[in-house]
Amino acid sequence: MALHTRFRFPKRVLTLPRPPLWLVPRGAPAIVAGRIGPRPVRVPLALLVGILLVIFASRVARLPTLNMEKDEAWSTWITLGSVQQTLDWVGYDWPVGFFLQLHAWRALTGITPFGLRILIVLTMLVGAALVFRLARRLFGVQAGLLAMLAFGAFGYILFISTIVRGYMLNVALFVLALLLAKRYFDRPHWRRALWVALTFAAMIYVHTTAVFAIGMVGLYTLIAYPGLRMWIARWILPGLVTAILCAPEIANRLYVYGVKRDIVDRFFPYAPPGERLANHYLDYFGQQPALWAALFLIAALLIVERFRIERRVVALAVWMLMPVALMPITANIDAFNARHLAWVMVGFALWIGWGLAQLPRAAKIGMAVVLAALMFDHIPLNERYETVPRIPFVTSFSTLQHEWRNGDAIVRDLDCRGCPPIDMEEWDYFTRAYFPNGLTFIDAAQAAVSADSPVAYRRVWYVAYEGNEAPDALAAVANGRAVSREFGEESFFWRLYEAPPDPLGVLFENGMRFHGAEILNDANLSLVWREGDTVRLRLWWSADAPVALDYSVGAYSWSDERGGVMSQVDGPPMLLNGPPETSRWQPGQMYIEERELELPYPLATGAYGIRLAVYQWWDGVRIPAPGTDENTMLRLGNVWVKAW
């Protein structure tokens, strides 16, 4: 008789990891999708990437012409040393977290304003993705997409996502903390509690005002999850770990409150509490408060009508009203402003996304387009209470970078009563960023030209507050030079004063004196041209005495092999700094004109002459001068043309 033995194996449940939704094929069974029950809504990856690209483009398009706040320049300037030096140089009112991040980014990408701001834009993209995750978890996929668009379109989010400061980082960390806290409350575990605590600590070490955002996370969980005793028990571990990690930083910052109160009293204009609260909310929405109010009310009607009053509605309402409760606490320590309470806008984004997701499909698409368009609204990216005007270093140095030549010098005339101060660290930072090899700074005395000394600096850039120039400094720079270029704003106005190539010059018989020429190409001396290229000429003139009549000037490209003149440009002097009629020229005044002379096409490789003539426009008779050739022309030089 055979012996049979039955083995019984314990039953095991096979749990498959849940793949990303976009990797699950349509119609896949529940076991493949890693789900039980109704199949969740899939999110097309291309749609998410497209929204993030719109957010990215709306920021990057502004960066080349966006000037920096004084604090942005200082924040970057203190990271130009070693890590230890950066830690030593951090200001009294900031922790070290953001500056360590900026130091690492600067070491990777350089210190140009554009490169530094890309860090903040990328932080914004992370924050937007986290807003999507949070809204999707709370209200669904469509609400997540609309909330992400609303978050990216807020006027003040546009501001903090392009400023080189730590505010955007803290907003992103706040959303992450709320996601982690919700995950922890749904399935408590000590590891999840530690992740919440570490995120809270990171927020504190970016900026101490994050304590208010941390309080909002705690308040949200109190409203969203019933049971006070359970709530207290859940927060004991993350609260204790956060307190231990942040105790040194909080202790170091306690004395800041008195200093901040003094700043508020000295620099912030008084406004009644109601007006200040209204302005605070208006700051969130930029220049389109009516449109945002309409979006908010539409969302409110849809939420209340469909969901009535429930915990999520109450939690979001409290979230959006937090500035009302925090104003008495924060108004006197320079913390009641949109940058320190920017996390409130996440609540508005969730509310608007949740409400608009209840609309019909066509209406939802229309609202998404409106929110995307708002990101490109041409609003001024500044704050209501910026106490120090932005000096246009970015736009001015970008222009100067293209115009600067070796041998140039800068005279700064910026000491005037009542003018906005420009700190030396700003000059130092922007010089390093745009001119790694340095700039030459001189005083007005060094720029002066006298009869018994040669011109030390032919080209002098004179920067001043327009209308507040020191007469002595301006006279020293302008004597013997002429203005050839102007740009900038009233508070930071640049003029290029140039001395002529030939101070003595050549006197024509009609009284016009020619002081030489420069052959230019995009403000740089050119070495070679192509067939059909344009040669830019800069010509220098003066008059020893009043010129009786009006004369014309001709510039010519010349080839002996091709029979003389190949191309020409004729007409009255095309002056940058004076009248074209020579009869109106003032003796002793230096004049500059520029002409563009097109080379013929085709041409053979070789050197071609550039010549000049002064003539009577009414009969074409040329005016003689010492050095003119048999055609009564002055030889200005040659251009080398390379042809195939």
Of 102-111, 268-277, 427-436, 614-623, least confident by mean pLDDT is 268-277
> What is the pLDDT at residue 273?
80
Residue 245 domain-assigned? yes
Closest CA to 558 of 527, 506, 597, 524: 597
Quick check: 171 pLDDT over 80? yes
pLDDT at 448: 87
Residues 6+ apart with CB under 8 A from 458: 407, 498, 499, 501
Question: 220-240: per-residue pLDDT in tens?
Answer: 999 999 889 999 999 999 999
- Residue 472 and residue 581 in one domain: no
Beta strands 529-530 and 524-525: pairing type?
A: unpaired
Q: Of how many residues is the chain composed?
A: 644
**Does 392 map to a domain?**
no
Residue 397 lies in a domain: no
The 3-state DSSP class for residue 122 equals helix
**387 Cβ partners below 8 Å, 6+ apart?**
267, 268
Share of the chain above pLDDT 90, in %: 68
Helix (H, G, I), strand (E, B) or coil at 510: coil
Residue 279 pLDDT class (50, 70, 90 cuts): confident
Is 127 found in the same domain as 254?
A: yes
What's the pLDDT score for residue 12? 41
- pLDDT exceeds 50 at position 24: no
DSSP state of 80: S
For residue 45, what are the CA distances in angstroms to 50, 132, 185, 476?
A: 8, 13, 29, 64
Asked if residue 425 and residue 479 are part of one domain, the reply reads yes
Question: Contact at 8 Å (CB) between 195 and 179?
Answer: no
Of residues 13 and 331, the one with the higher pLDDT is 331
Are residues 415 and 538 part of one domain?
no
pTM: 0.83
DSSP string, 9-49: PPP----PPPPPGGGSPTT--HHHHT--SSPPPP--HHHHH
- The pLDDT score that the predictor gives to residue 438 is 93
Q: What average pLDDT is seen over the chain?
A: 87
Residue 568 included in any domain = yes
Lowest mean pLDDT among 371-380, 491-500, 503-512, 633-642: 371-380
In a domain, 477, yes or no: yes
Burial of 196 (0-12, 13-18, 19+ CB in 10 A): buried
Q: How confident is the model at residue 531 (pLDDT cuts 50, 70, 90)?
A: very high
In a domain? residue 292: yes
Q: Answer whether residue 7 is part of any domain.
A: no
Return d(Cα 633, Cα 235) in angstroms, integer. 91
pLDDT digits (tens, 9 = 90+) for 578-587: 999 999 999 9
Rg (CA), the chain: 34
Q: Are 341 and 322 in contact (CB under 8 A)?
A: yes
pLDDT of residue 91: 78
> Same domain for 479 and 603?
no
Looking at mean pLDDT, say which of 3-12, 64-73, 268-277, 362-371 comes out highest: 362-371
Give me the domain span that covers residue 628. Answer: 506-642
Question: ∠ at Cα 498 (495, 502), nearest 5°?
Answer: 170
CA distance 246 to 198: 10
Q: 178 and 272, same structural domain?
A: yes
Which pLDDT belongs to residue 153? 94
State the pLDDT confidence band at 11, using cuts at 50, 70 and 90: very low
pLDDT at 535: 93
Q: 518 and 493 share a domain?
A: no
Same domain, 510 and 494: no
Whether the link from the prior residue into 25 is cis, omega within 30° of 0, is no
Phi first, then psi, for residue 278 (nearest 5°) are: -65, -45
Q: Helix, strand, coil proportions of the chain in percent (round to 5)?
A: 50, 15, 35
Give the orientation angle of helix 393-403 with respect to helix 424-434, to 10 degrees. Answer: 40
Residues 471 and 602 in one domain: no
Mean of pLDDT values over 157-164: 93
Secondary structure (3-state) at 431: helix
Taking each helix axis from N to C terminus, what angle separates 190-206 and 210-224, rounded to the nearest 10 degrees?
150
| Residue 137: its H or E element | helix 113-139
Assigned domain for 54 exists: no
Asked if 574 contacts 484 with a C-beta cutoff of 8 angstroms, the reply is no
pLDDT at residue 7, rounded to an integer: 36
Indicate if 204 and 330 belong to the same structural domain: yes
What SS3 string covers 599-621?
CCCCCCCEEEEEEEEEECCCCCC
Within this chain, do residues 121 and 188 fall inside the same structural domain, yes or no? yes
Q: How many domains does the chain contain in total?
A: 4
Give me the mean pLDDT over the 616-624 stretch: 96
Distance CA 238, CA 220 (A): 15
Q: Residue 19 and residue 16: Cα distance in Å, rounded?
A: 9
Could you tell me the CATH number of the domain that includes residue 529? 2.60.40.770
The pLDDT score that the predictor gives to residue 20 is 46
- The answer on 633 and 517 residing in a single domain is yes
Residue 33 backbone dihedrals phi, psi, to 5 degrees: -75, -10
Q: Cβ distance 146 to 356 under 8 Å?
A: yes
Give the residue from 374, 399, 421 where a domain finishes.
Answer: 374
Q: For residue 422, what pLDDT is reported?
A: 87
Nearest to 147 by CA among 181, 187, 192, 178: 178
CA dist., res. 337 & res. 345, Å (int): 12
Most confident of 199-203, 276-280, 455-459: 199-203
Q: Which residue, of 463, 498, 533, is where some domain finishes?
A: 498
Mean pLDDT of 286-313: 88
Q: 5-9, 107-111, 254-258, 553-557: lowest mean pLDDT where?
A: 5-9
Cα gap 343→172, rounded to integer Å: 9
> Could you tell me the CA-to-CA distances from 419 to 182, 394, 463, 465 in Å, in that order?
51, 19, 13, 8
Supply the DSSP string of 569-599, one letter for each residue: EEES--BSSS-S-GGGPPTT--EEEEEEEEP
Q: Please check the confidence at residue 30 and state whether its pLDDT lies above 70.
A: no
Among 479, 498, 517, the domain-final residue is 498
Segment 432-456 shows an average pLDDT of 85
